[in-house]
Amino acid sequence: MSTRCQIIPIYVIQSNLNVCACSLLQVLECCIISLDFFLLPLLSAVWIMLPAYLPNPVAALFGGGTPIDLGRNFSDGKRVFGDGKTFRGLFIGILAGIGIGLVQIWIMGTYGLDYLPRHTYLSVMLLATGALLGDLCKSFFKRRSGKERGIKWPVADQYDLVAGALILLLVFDPSWLFANMILPVFILILILTPVLHRTVNIIGYYMGVKEVPW
């Protein structure tokens, strides 16, 4: 047995080493590919959208008081926006979105992080404001379609903030939008948004902040 081990030709060992090295390289290659094609766009998607994602949960936490439509009805006899859209929620939500954006700008200035999209004061303001204006517009059309406050309205409830934020960017800062919103990032935002929206709303529901878990 030991004699057979000793006569393993050197080229067999070398070829085994080659196979190992190749496998290791393939694993490394996979890591680099997944970093380039998945992880970086995912991080970029979250980084871009943070100032737009934060206003909604903050409005749910701190909103309430005078409704934006002052309790008035539209010409169809239904509420313009409803009691779920208040001045306090709107302003505190937008401030929170701008606040997190300023923190992101500070982090980039301090730590570099050149692989992430670079926010500007304008992009942050447009994302935060657009998110809650999108939410407000959604509620306007939700009331027109006869749905009461808090009733589920799939797709619109999840994407209102994305639509609002991107439309404001498109109108007031298109160069920033097209420089940073590359296709894989945009696709990831479309996948990520409903997942995050649902998760945060379920958490809000169990915390007693939201009346419904959607």
DSSP letter at 117 equals -
Query: What CA–CA distance (Å, rounded) separates 31 from 17?
Result: 21
CB 44 to ligand CTP: min, Å: 26
Q: Which is nearer to ligand CTP, 118 or 147 (CB)?
A: 147
Distance CA 104, CA 120 (A): 9
- CA gap 45, 165 in Å, rounded: 13
Q: Would you state the structure tokens that stand for residue 98, as one six-digit string?
A: 């701008």
| Nearest distance from C-beta of residue 192 to ligand CTP, angstroms | 18
Of 139, 158, 180, 193, the one binding ligand CTP by CB under 6 A: 139
| Residues numbered 141-200 forming contacts with ligand CTP, rule: CB under 6 A | 142, 149-150
Looking at 41, 47, 80, 82, which residue binds ligand CTP (CB under 6 A)? 82
Segment near ligand CTP (CB under 6 A), from 41-49, 60-68, 113-121, 182-190?
60-68
In the stretch 14-33, what mask flags binding to ligand CTP with x, by CB under 6 A? --------------------
Residue 102 CB, nearest distance to ligand CTP (Å)?
Answer: 21
User: CB of residue 92 vs ligand CTP: minimum separation in angstroms?
Assistant: 8
How far apart CA 111 and CA 150 sit, in angstroms, is 41
**Least distance to ligand CTP, CB of residue 121, Å:** 22
Q: What ranges make up the beta strands (E) of the chain?
A: none
Q: Which is nearer to ligand CTP, 112 or 146 (CB)?
A: 146
Beta bridge partners of 86: 67
Angle at 67 between CA 63 and CA 71, to 5 degrees: 155
C-alpha torsion sign, points 182, 185, 186, 187: positive
Please name the residue that has the structure tokens 């934020």: 165
For residues 5 and 118, what is the distance between their CA atoms, to the nearest angstrom? 60
Could you say which of 43, 64, 181, 196 contacts ligand CTP (CB under 6 A)? 64
Footprint of ligand CTP on this chain (CB under 6 A)? 59-60, 63-64, 82, 84-86, 89-90, 132, 135, 139, 142, 149-150, 210
